[in-house]
Every structure is written in structure tokens, then in C-alpha cells.
Amino acid sequence: MNNLSAAAKKRIYAKEEVCIGCRLCEIYCIAAHSQYRDNLIKTFKKLTKRPLPRIVVEEEKPVSFGLQCRHCDEPECVKACITGAMHKDTETGIVTNDIERCIGCWTCILACPYGVIKRDYQNKKIASKCDLCMESNMEPACVKNCPNEALYIKASS
């Protein structure tokens, strides 16, 4: 298996019992998907149009956890997509949205049972969702920067 697929069998899991609701995952997610990558200050100070966080901390105190795309085995969003932009990689199982083909109809948002696809008004009318940071081929930014190890990535069973 190549690197990509080895990493791709992995999924991000949340440990709600140690999520502290700091939302650093969201902040690092934004930066990771911006043109400035890991530079938080530039991402937030220079960009007026920032990417949306693709992970969102759901919170009802004291319960909180970071939620992002589950990369479902049978993704409703892929079924619902009218242009074929939303697709599941057959090898890695990662669900990604091809922004070139996305027309911003947002049917995927309606279909997603987890509410993890967002409308991205600022940057074109497309759907924004977790890509497991596959592009950077790094440990996902949210996992790497969680101060309490409340997010972790491991091979899905």
C-alpha cells in the first residue's frame, strides 16, 4: 500500500471525557486549510476570507467534543450530490468534495446526518468539510494540536 492509503484507512475519534472545549482544534483547522498553513497569526490577521473550521466543537457543558466528517462507509452526501463533486475514494475511503465540480447546491448538507458539512459563503458557494488533512500528508491539524489528547487518529476497524 502506498503512503496515502496507509494513512487513509485512519479516522479521527473524539474522547468526549477529556475534551476541554477550548476549540483549538477549530483554530488550527482554519489555519491548516488557509494559504498560510500553520501560521495562525497570519491566517487570522491577514485573511479577511478565512476557511471555515471543518471540525466543530459541540458543547453542552460539561459535555463537549470535536466533531467532523465521519467518512461514512455509505455516505449520504455522496449519494445526494447532483454533480458528483462529493465522492468517496475507493482505496482510502475518504470522502472529499471536488470544488471544481461543486456548484454549491448544498444538498449534501441536507443529507449529512452529522451536520458536519458547512456552507462556505465567503469562499465561493461550496461545501466545506474535513479532508483528514490528506493534502498536507500530515497528522490532521486538529489531532496534532489538541492540548488534552481528546482527538486521536487510528485505523478504522
Burial (CB count <10 Å: 0-12, 13-18, 19+), residue 156 = middle
CB of 148 to other proteins, least distance (A): 5
DSSP 48: S
Binds other proteins (CB under 8 A): choice among 3, 41, 90, 137: 41
Binds other proteins (CB under 8 A): choice among 20, 82, 110, 155: 20
State how far the Cα of 152 lies from the Cα of 125, in Å rounded to an integer.
31
CB of 142 to other proteins, least distance (A): 12
Asked if 40 is part of the footprint of other proteins (rule: CB under 8 A), the reply reads yes
CA distances to 36, 42, 106, 108 from 114, in Å: 29, 31, 14, 11
Reference 56, options 156, 136, 142, 148; nearest CA is 142
- Residues 109, 121, 127, CA angle at the centre, nearest 5°? 35
Per-residue interface string for the shown chain with other proteins, residues 57-96, x marking contact by CB under 8 A: ----xx----------------------------------
Part in contact with other proteins (CB under 8 A); list of ranges 15-23, 70-78, 82-90, 110-118:
15-23
**Residue ranges binding other proteins (CB under 8 A):** 15, 17-24, 27-28, 40-41, 43-45, 61-62, 145, 147-150
